Amino acid sequence: MNSYPESLTELVDQLKKLPGVGRKTAARLAFHMVRMPDGEAGKLAEAILEVKKRLSLCSFCQNLTEKDPCSICRDPHREVYQLCVVEYPADASSIENSGAFHGRYFVLHGNLAPMQGQGPESLRLERLKELVVSQQISEVIIATNPTVEGNATALLISRILEPLGVQLSRPACGLPVGADLEYMDPVTIRKSLDGRGPL
């Protein structure tokens, strides 16, 4: 690695920080970028800066948006009494693409993973509780992933919301254990939401 020019080493080091990118892939991507026409490389750098500049969190659902509240929370045709809790923005878009849900979302931006240093305080659960009360939500679908962390997160959320007398459900049938909502096909998601059971 030390044999690379300084600027190339820096680019490889930055790319290595991306999820799923190891040293080899980082080097391959960096060499690809070196060969890119100036215009293309500029567009890539600009896209990263733009997304950082323009995206913020919706003050209601905490999803990523360019306009607060986001388009889903602003939509008067959504069921206002239903809230679907998901781990990541990508999970909300998978459910959205399935067309099975017409309420609003709450994005945790993570799950309960104490081993990775993610405790309950990182999940904005106070905000969730506040919303359920202030928006008079009557049903919360806890659609965290069917993984160990996702199930632990669902359990914690149900404990927090139970005293509020809100109906709690979890997409049950169809979701394979350990699966990631983000990569699930719309039909499976629709079936599992339709067949959701009480917690």
Residues in the chain: 199
Instruction: Among 15, 27, 61, 175, indicate the residue that binds Zn ion (CB under 5 A).
Output: 61
Instruction: Among 15, 26, 27, 58, indicate the residue that binds Zn ion (CB under 5 A).
Output: 58
Residue 161 lies near Zn ion (rule: CB under 5 A): no
CB of 62 closer than 8 Å to CB of 107: yes
What is the SS3 assignment for 119? coil
The CB-nearest residue to Zn ion is 58
Q: How far is the CB of 60 from Zn ion (least distance, A)?
A: 4
The set of residues, in sequence order, having a beta carbon less than 8 Å from that of 57 and lying 6+ positions away, is 63, 64, 65, 68
Instruction: Among 15, 27, 70, 123, indicate the residue that binds Zn ion (CB under 5 A).
Output: 70
Options 16-24, 34-42, 66-74, 133-141: segment touching Zn ion (CB under 5 A): 66-74
The set of residues, in sequence order, having a beta carbon less than 8 Å from that of 80 and lying 6+ positions away, is 103, 104, 135, 137
Options 36-44, 55-63, 75-83, 176-184: segment touching Zn ion (CB under 5 A): 55-63
Residue 73 lies near Zn ion (rule: CB under 5 A): yes
Q: How far is the CB of 91 from Zn ion (least distance, A)?
A: 14
CB of 185 closer than 8 Å to CB of 193: no
- Cβ closest to Zn ion, residue 70 vs residue 125: 70
The set of residues, in sequence order, having a beta carbon less than 8 Å from that of 106 and lying 6+ positions away, is 61, 62, 83, 84, 85, 86, 128, 131
Angle at alpha carbon of residue 171, lines to 189 and 99, rounded to 5°: 35
Instruction: Among 11, 12, 26, 60, indicate the residue that binds Zn ion (CB under 5 A).
Output: 60
Number of residues that bind Zn ion (CB under 5 A): 6
Question: Can you give the binding site for Zn ion, defined by CB under 5 A?
Answer: 58, 60-61, 69-70, 73
